[in-house]
Structure 1
Amino acid sequence: MTWTFTPERVDTPDATALRREYYGDVAGRYWKRPATEAEIDEGLTNDGVELLTAPTGAFLVARFAGEAAGCGGVLLLDGERAELTRVFLRHAYRGKGGAGPLLAHLEDAARDLGARRMVLNTRLDLVEARALYTRHGYAEIPAYCTGPYMEVWYGKEL
């Protein structure tokens, strides 16, 4: 079984399903209950995902043995920095060696866009994501943005 990582438009059926599952997962963990379809719809409305395409960003779909298994995006913040966003592996595919390569491909996409540093924000309760980032060289940095679901910020030189 092999992993592949390919750029994809955010509105394809696979990308849309992955983005919905990502939002449902992180929102449900925050609310400590499953997110409803209406809440997912509302959360994805005007979320800026259209910027995850060149020249402002990129969106990748991870596939395991041909099946859509995960996704992630990068968004240029300025001439030097890209933000890592919407990194997600479906639960059935976790532990199969895809997270590290997905991060590496997203970092390559950021470099291709001209970024020299990757930054991200996340929540303290997303312990698996935080462990993934630190395992791959991300370190805590001062806040570079604010928002209701931002509790910790990470950065890495590319």
Structure 2
Amino acid sequence: MTTWTLAPEAFDSSDASALRREYYDEVASRYWQRSATAEEIDQGLSGDGAEQLTPPTGQFVVGRYGTKAAACGGVLMLDAERAELTRVFLRRAFRGRRGAGILLETLESEARKLGARWMVLNTRLDLIEARKLYVRNGYAEIPAYCSGPYMEIWYGKEL
């Protein structure tokens, strides 16, 4: 039986980099309603702050289904007690195999290790599947804690 294995990994490892590229491609392509170009993906990943997803400021996690890199996500400490969930992604071929819930549990555990008592996140209204995932896993809508062009709804959860 194939199982999920999730563990912290450098945000710039080959598997993590490939997953981050696919994440950006998917969210950008949905937003623009067309395929993102390689140049647009490169530009989006350049200076995206992923280097902060390492202790003590954060953590990046890669999930494998069997031996295949299939999922990723990060937590970023916003202050002493709040962590932000970011870059949550499952490759399409691995969706529906309970990996998303395991990924969230792992990211929440990593946030606790960094001292977080609350997890927050922001997302877009059109990312309906992600929003359903967060609510299904105990996240509730909260007031905006930040602002930006791709931030339309905010969620939080006590850890």
Q: Determine if the TM-score, normalized by the shorter chain, exceeds 0.5.
A: yes
Partner of 1:121: 122
Taking the aligned partners of 2:154 and 2:68, their CA distance within structure 1 comes to: 31
Residue type of the alignment partner of 2:140 = A
Partner of 1:13: 14
Taking the aligned partners of 1:80 and 1:133, their CA distance within structure 2 comes to: 20
| Unaligned stretches of 5+ residues in structure 1 | none
Partner of 1:31: 32
Q: How far is the alpha carbon of 1:26 from its aligned partner?
A: 0.2
Per-residue CA deviation, residues 54-99 of structure 1 (Å, 9 max, x unaligned), is 0000000000011000100000000110000000000000001100
Taking the aligned partners of 1:118 and 1:10, their CA distance within structure 2 comes to: 20
SS of alignment partner, residue 118 of structure 1: strand
Partner of 1:135: 136
Structural RMSD (CA): 0.3
| Unaligned stretches of 5+ residues in structure 2 | none
Taking the aligned partners of 2:67 and 2:155, their CA distance within structure 1 comes to: 31
Taking the aligned partners of 1:97 and 1:136, their CA distance within structure 2 comes to: 12
SS of alignment partner, residue 20 of structure 1: helix
Taking the aligned partners of 1:14 and 1:7, their CA distance within structure 2 comes to: 12
Equivalent residue pairs, number: 158
Q: How far is the alpha carbon of 1:119 from its aligned partner?
A: 0.1
Taking the aligned partners of 1:39 and 1:45, their CA distance within structure 2 comes to: 10
Note if 1:150 corresponds to 2:151: yes
Which contiguous aligned blocks of 4+ residues in structure 1 show a shift greater than 6 angstroms? Answer: none
Partner of 1:56: 57
Taking the aligned partners of 1:137 and 1:7, their CA distance within structure 2 comes to: 23
Partner of 1:109: 110
Taking the aligned partners of 1:7 and 1:149, their CA distance within structure 2 comes to: 27
SS of alignment partner, residue 122 of structure 2: strand
Aligned-pair identity in percent equals: 70
Taking the aligned partners of 2:136 and 2:148, their CA distance within structure 1 comes to: 25
Partner of 1:71: 72
Residue type of the alignment partner of 1:130 = R
